Amino acid sequence: MWYWLFKYVFIGPLLRVFGRPTVEGLENIPAKGPAILASNHLAVADSLFLPLMVPRRITFLAKSEYFTTPGFKGRLNKFFYSAAGQVPIDRSGAEAAQAALNTGAMLLRDGKLLGLYPEGTRSPDGRLFKGKTGLARVALESGVPVIPVAMIGTDDVNPIGSKMWKPAKVTVRVGKPLDFSRFAGLGGSRFIERAVTDEVMYELMRLSGQEYVDVYAANVKDGKVTPHPARDAQRIPDTQAG
């Protein structure tokens, strides 16, 4: 109930004023049955505008900090994300990451529409960063289609590092479903998982028009890597051929 109240009564009308959102390619999302929505990640607003523009309910795997932060703000966050049907995941290590992927697979078995951000975190500068292979593991295990979704303009509404939103134009561009049945039975191979992930990222790059950077966004945020313009900014090879 709270999901639909947030969408149509409390938050949705405000989002339509701030973002004047439009959606393209909505016919690519099935009316029922499990599927993965793989989206680029520019701002917190992505997780609001995407559900607003998709008729079906989307379940995101949300970081556990949204549910465990102390104080009034923490309780407010917990209420919002819980009421909206989001699922907390622990991203602290390999075992926690596997548990999160298991949760995603369980949701798909229940016929849910699962929202994932292959980059793993918000882009630090508006570019598209290297995808993590967790999405590929879930897709190969479940056998469901992966639908690429490009969020455009959400970082203008909700600028990086800003606590205030501002009016701007938001576009949600939905690509055609990607079928990875040709890799059936090959899950667990890091080469196959990378190929699947790169194919998804190629579609996101094509749909969004973003520049691709071949390093992980989390490493850039942590200061572990400084992207080199000539070395790391590149186009992903088109892995769809053949």
Enumerate the domain spans of the chain: 2-19+31-232
**Amino acid type, 191:** F
Is the pTM here over 0.95, yes or no?
no
At the top level of CATH, which class does the domain 2-19+31-232 belong to?
alpha beta
Structure tokens at 179: 């079928």
What percent of the residues of the chain are helix, what percent strand, and what percent coil, each to the nearest 5? 45, 15, 40
Digits of tens for pLDDT over the chain (242 positions)? 788 888 999 899 999 999 999 999 999 999 999 999 999 999 989 999 999 999 999 998 877 776 777 888 778 878 877 777 677 776 666 666 777 788 889 999 999 999 999 998 999 999 999 999 999 999 999 999 999 999 999 999 999 888 889 999 999 999 999 999 999 888 889 999 999 999 999 999 999 999 999 999 999 988 877 765 544 555 454 544 33
β-pairing verdict for 146-152 and 35-39 = parallel
**Residues contacting 183, CB < 8 A, separation 6+:** 140, 192, 195, 196
Q: Identify the residue whose tokens are 């951000």.
A: 117
**Amino acid type, 114:** L
Phi, psi of 105 (to 5 degrees): -65, -40
- Residue 200 CB neighbours (<10 A): 25
Residue 48, classed as helix, strand or coil, is: helix
- Give the model's pLDDT for residue 242: 36
Residue 153, classed as helix, strand or coil, is: coil
Residue 202 CA: distances (Å) to CA of 122, 165, 207, 214, 217: 18, 30, 9, 12, 16
Residue 212 near residue 233 (C-beta atoms within 8 A): yes
Residue 128 near residue 212 (C-beta atoms within 8 A): yes
Name the helix (H) or strand (E) containing 154.
helix 154-157
